[in-house]
Structure 1
Amino acid sequence: MITLTLRAVRTDAKPAAPMPAPTRLPANSLYLRLLTWSFTLFNSVRVFAYLPTIWAIQQHGASDQHSLLTWITFAGANASMALWLFEQNGRRIHRAVIVNVGNALMCTAIVLVIASHRLGH
């Protein structure tokens, strides 16, 4: 059997203080400019960082050293992030979208190389 207990709620209590608004930095702040450029730099370099993995699998055929599920997940995460950024920014393509598309394409290339080696053997 279930018993419900009702409690009286005081209506004369003071309301909680409102949460302070988040602090926003000016769009032209040095911090935001550095953050934007470091994002662009490191994520652009990351596009090229996939090349040694592709080359190693092609050269040595050791596709069993790489998880197909992991690379499919990375490709999907980068592709969905690119689409999310595109939608969140008024359906505009900007550097973050382009960088995520590039990373998704490189992860997809690794998936294809791994799959081709596994199907070929």
Structure 2
Amino acid sequence: MTTILKSPGLRLAMRVQPAPADPQRARRAYLAALTWGFTLFNAVRMLSYLPTMWAIYGSGDSSQHSLWTWLTWLGANVTMAAWLYEQNGQRMGRAVFINLGNATMCAAMVMLIVALRGLTS
């Protein structure tokens, strides 16, 4: 932005830079949005297991679902929850609860697959 200052017999043009935004405020807003986005998408993620569970249960056929994959995801969620707990000074934060919720859903899927395979064997 250019500002022209005029006085009798003098004309002075100055380039005035807009004041920079408060970087701390922008960072806090970004972190708040990121936290809510993480929470929202992971809450939806926990609900997204249900249609698969209903489909497997309804068909009685778990052969298209890898038990190895679900056990791996279960282990990944449990260890991530434990890692976050330790990194957060042994406090239960939102991310720990989210990972435990996802681990619970993976465990439920593992139990469903194992139960249906036991019934059809």
Interval containing the TM-score (normalised by the shorter chain): 0.7 to 0.9
In structure 1, the residue corresponding to 2:63 is in which secondary structure?
Answer: helix
* 1:26 shift after superposition: 3.9
Pairwise CA distance, 1:70: 0.4
The code of the aligned residue for 2:106 comes to C
- Shift of residue 89, structure 1, vs aligned partner: 0.1
Q: 1:35 to 1:116 in 2, by over 3 A?
A: same
User: Could you say what secondary structure the match of 1:63 adopts?
Assistant: coil
Q: Give the distance between the partners of 1:52 and 1:89, measured in 2 at CA.
A: 33
CA distance, structure 2, for counterparts of residue 103 and residue 50 of structure 1: 9
Question: When the two structures are aligned, how many residues end up with a matched partner?
Answer: 97
State the match for 2:106 in structure 1: 107
Shift of 1:44: 1.1
1:61 to partner: Cα distance: 1.2
d(CA) in 2 for partners of 1:29, 1:91: 24
Partner of 1:61: 60
Q: CA deviation at 1:30?
A: 1.0
Corresponding letter in the other structure for 1:31: Y
| Structure 1 residue runs without a partner (length 5+) | 1-24
TM value normalised by structure 1: 0.76
SS in 1 for 2:74: helix
Provide runs of 4+ in structure 1 moved above 2 Å.
25-28
Q: Deviations over 1:41-85 (max 9, x none)?
A: 101111111001111111101200100000000111011100100
The equivalent residue for 2:84 is 85
> More strand by proportion, 1 or 2?
2
Q: Which amino acid aligns with 1:98?
A: F
CA distance in 2, matches of 1:29, 1:66: 42
Distance 1:79 1:26, change over 3 A: farther
Using CA pairs below 8 Å that are at least 6 residues apart, which structure has the higher relative contact order? 1
Percent of aligned pairs with the same amino acid: 55
How much is the aligned-residue C-alpha RMSD, in angstroms? 1.4
Tell me how far apart the structure 1 counterparts of residues 61 and 116 of structure 2 sit (CA, whole Å).
8
Larger CA Rg, structure 1 vs 2: 2
TM superposition score normalised by structure 2: 0.76
